Amino acid sequence: MTARRALIGLAAVLLVALPLWVPGNYDISVGSEILIYAIFALSVDLLIGFAGLVSLGHAGLFSLAGYTLAVCLGAGFGQPAAIALALAVALAGTAVFAALSLRTTGVGFIMITLALGQIMWGLAYRWVGLTGGDNGISVSARPAPFGISLAVPSHFYEATLIVFAGAVFAYRVFVESPFGASLRGTRDQPRRMTALGYNVWMIRFSAFMVSGLLAAIAGILFVFRAEFISPPTAALTASAEPVLMAISGGSGTILGPIVGAALVELVKNVASAYISRWNMLLGGTFVVIVMFMPEGLVPGTMRLLRRRFGARPPAPVVAAGTAERKPPP
Amino acid sequence: MTALAIRGLRKSFGGLRVTQGVDLAVAPGERRLIIGPNGAGKTTLFNLIAGDLRADSGSVALFGTEIAGLPARRRAHLGLARTYQIITLFPKDTLLRNVTLSLLGLSGLRWNPFVRLDRQHALIAQARHALGRVGLADMADRPLAETSYGERRRVEIAMALAQSPRVLLLDEPFAGLSIDERRDVAALLAEVPREITIVMIEHDMDVALEFADRISVMHFGAVVVDGTRAEVVADPRTREIYLGE
Amino acid sequence: MWTILAINSVTFGGLLFLLSAGFSLIFGLMRVPNLTHGSMFMLGGYIGGSLIASWHLPFWLAALVAAAAVAAFGGVMERFLLRRLAGSVLAQVLVTLGVAFMVSDFSLMVWGGDPLSVDAPRALAGGTRALGVFFPTYRIAVILIAVAVAAILWAMLDRTRLGAMIRAGVDDPEMARVVGIRVSRLFTIVFCLGAGLAGFGGVMGAPILSVYPGLDFAMLPLALVVVILGGAGSLPGSLVGSIVIGFIYNFGLVMVPQLAYFILFLPMVLVLVLRPQGLFGRAAP
């Protein structure tokens, strides 16, 4: 446990000091990007890992917040008002997403979220009057809280880190709370949970709202970082990326999606310097991870470490349906 | 007042009438056994009482409160608990977490996202106590997946009892158990206080008859015979159903 | 103006039917929403278009070859990827998505970023003027082909042993297995069939829509919406859903061009709220 604390402390120091040990402003900016996508990946994994619901439409919520922010800033709103409006609109959109997609679970949920995400993409792309269509919207100014200009990359990075740390802390409290336990229960045995007195639908809906809030925060940070938003932000690829981050890093954990986000974003940045085949890489990684490492990198590595250090092997993960012995008739 | 009063309960799937006008009255504190051949509609009846299925028509009253129109979760809050014929638990979690979830289901705490569940010492102590009641206190921290079938059956009963229900529905609690395990579960059920009314579906007559105050025989989706053990055993219709005479 | 719009709507509906019939069958039978389906449509268009432009194959032959190629691609995908993940629908869905991204990039690599326009067969070029309305021959032909494919599919499902097995599998996969239907072979057949239909639809659509990068993910949600509207595994559902979407999309494009994509999804929302199992899907017990 102390080793774990030390590791977390070390990671925190490294993260805070990142502007000092990476070569340049571009790398600091990549650091911010990773943190933003880590929040986004956590948002998506709250549903995948803890509610058992795979959303392929979260880029719709991410970009809804981003577009609202960009449009409001363009219309002359102040920064705080624009941020508040972006959060409010994204939460309203999340409520609609959740109300519709929670009509079903499993594969139906995937299909509906995908379709809803595509609606947002279609709006971003076609509603030229509002979104600028293909040209997107540029945002000229980053906020300057307490007089500190976030236009400086390292300042923006530290501000993002503060939001990220807050989000991770809240996320941890959330998943270890009684509500988090209820949510996991609905993932494993929804029918049983109903019989025990839980309102399964409302639990899922609430989790979806929290997930939407995180996606909106990530979307707002994204627009401030890029100072630009355009339809690809809402595309299916953009919805698939956080899913990949979550399942590659390790779904249902906190560290997993963060590590996944770092890996995917690093690969994306490195790869894009050499080849323009990001989609091929993304798709290929998806196939390989799902086929060969379905548990994700973090739990997989943890298991290897644990075995290496001779601790008791973890219980075999038994699927809900196979743990039961059918009584003889 | 009756603990559980069922009148004219009906349910069809497509054209198949699975439950056709069930009437049943269970007194407070009573131990009621429901028997009947396979396909008689016993588990469907439980699903209708617990709210896993909605009845087409008819009424179900729990201590005078009409519950037939309520969702299953509301019925749990009104004091109805059940176990399943096919054990339905949370295999990845520990025994303690399983029972804690059961307690949490009736607690307002279940909506709280701001505190740590493992710091809710009162709740967890209560869960440990419930596991103690079924003799599993020393296994509390073991993952459910590592327990035997008989132990899981006891966990299920612990979860149901932890909710302090007024009416407990047990769907074949002895199915799939070894002789020793049956004896353990029977002893455990015998100790359940009379504040809890129990309705049980069971095929194992040796254990179940001993336990029951009254017996209802179901056949083709209706209660055919209803009475004390002696009455039911003596009734010619019982023989007809079971022996095909 | 309205008549031509209506014809265009029905034509687009016909293309959607070619796309979504296979999607619906695969979904109904395997419970896997094949997220590669839009890519198969696009791949069909590219292959067919290239065969016509570079190899000078006749249009119909090119269409059949392209359909066969895409069907083979579907078969390989089912055998070597989906089969290995049998039992885990989620993993299967994610794999189909991953393959879709790969196809999208692969097509960009092979066919470049410019749209590939394909000419309609010469015999069907132009149109006929009747009752003061201009009927473009090729579009009418597409409608007829879609109707013919619907009839053939219906006859196949309703009259043949294979069709009976597919219907049994859609109704109750467990039971189908119990009565000895080799479900795994059925999966491959249906996957090939669905892929081939999508590829064929891609060629049919090429003279109307042209083939361009992004066509795959533009078509995929339409297939989803049609199936949500029509219910999984229901052929009449696909047909009606396709026509409805065809009308809404084309009329939307003319009347509210900026929101056309948005109003396209409104019927889906309505169906989800009022009848989650789809217009023609059976109610869950």
At residue A19 the predicted structure's pLDDT band, cuts being 50, 70 and 90, is: confident
CA distance A213 to chain B (A): 15
Subunits with at least 3 CB pairs below 8 A relative to chain C? A
Q: Give the CATH architecture of domain B1-73+199-245.
A: 3-Layer(aba) Sandwich (3.40)
CA–CA separation, A238 vs A57, rounded Å?
9
Q: Is the pLDDT of residue A311 over 50?
A: no
Q: What is the pLDDT of residue A327?
A: 37
Instruction: Tell me the C-alpha to C-alpha distance, in Å, between residue A276 and each of A269, A271, A273, C103, C275.
Output: 11, 7, 8, 14, 44
**Residue C262, exposed/middle/buried by CB under 10 A (0-12, 13-18, 19+)?**
middle
**Chain A residues lying within 8 Å of B144, measured CB to CB:** 323
b/e sequence B171-206, b meaning 16+ C-beta within 10 Å: bbbbbbbeeebbebbbebbeebeeebbbbbbbbeee
- Top-tier CATH class for C2-274: mainly alpha
Q: Do A181 and B117 touch (CB under 8 A)?
A: yes
Contact call for residues A57 and A113 (beta carbons, < 8 A): yes
CA distance B190 to chain A (A): 22
> Where do the DSSP E strands lie in chain B?
4-13, 16-26, 31-35, 57-62, 65-66, 80-82, 167-171, 197-201, 214-219, 222-228
User: Which residues, in sequence order, are CB contacts of B41 under 8 Å at separation 6+?
Assistant: B18, B19, B22, B218, B220, B221, B222
Closest CA to B99 of B162, B22, B39, B20: B162
Torsion angle (degrees, nearest 10) of CA C211, C217, C218, C224: 130
Q: What is the pLDDT of residue C109?
A: 86
The interface predicted TM-score (ipTM) is 0.90
% pLDDT > 70, chain B: 99
CATH 1.10.3470 for the A32-301 domain, yes or no = yes
Q: Which of B27-41, B229-243, C171-185 has the lowest mean pLDDT?
A: C171-185
Q: Is the pLDDT of residue A324 over 80?
A: no
Q: Give pLDDT < 50 ranges for chain C.
A: 283-285
Q: In terms of pLDDT, which residue wins out, B111 or A296?
A: B111
pLDDT for A285-306, tens place per residue?
878 888 877 777 777 777 667 6
Residue/partner pairs of A73-77 with CB below 8 Å, 24 or more apart = A73/A139, A73/A140, A73/A141, A74/A137, A74/A139
Q: Do B88 and A192 touch (CB under 8 A)?
A: yes
Q: What is the pLDDT of residue B65?
A: 92
CA–CA separation, A245 vs A247, rounded Å?
6
Contact call for residues B160 and B83 (beta carbons, < 8 A): yes
CB pairs under 8 A between A and C: 127
Q: Is the pLDDT of residue A242 over 90?
A: yes
Q: What is the pLDDT of residue A23?
A: 82
How far is residue A276 CA from its own chain's centroid?
24
Q: Which chain A residue's Cα is nearest to B146?
A: A315
Average confidence score pLDDT of chain A: 85
Contact call for residues A315 and A274 (beta carbons, < 8 A): no
What are the extents of the domains in chain A?
32-301
Instruction: Tell me the C-alpha to C-alpha distance, in Å, between residue B77 and each of B88, B197, C39.
Output: 19, 16, 50
Closest CA to B135 of B150, B120, B145: B150
Instruction: Tell me the C-alpha to C-alpha distance, in Å, between residue B45 and each of A24, B120, B217, B221.
Output: 70, 37, 12, 8
CA–CA separation, C135 vs C126, rounded Å?
9
Contact status of A325 with chain B (Cβ, < 8 Å): yes
pLDDT for B141-164, tens place per residue?
999 999 999 899 999 999 999 999
What are the extents of the domains in chain C?
2-274
Q: Is the pLDDT of residue A326 over 70?
A: no
CA–CA separation, A215 vs A80, rounded Å?
18
Q: What is the pLDDT of residue C76?
A: 93
Contact call for residues A108 and C271 (beta carbons, < 8 A): no
Phi, psi of B4, deg, nearest 5: -135, 115
Q: Which of A112-121, B201-210, C170-179, C217-226 has the lowest mean pLDDT?
A: C170-179
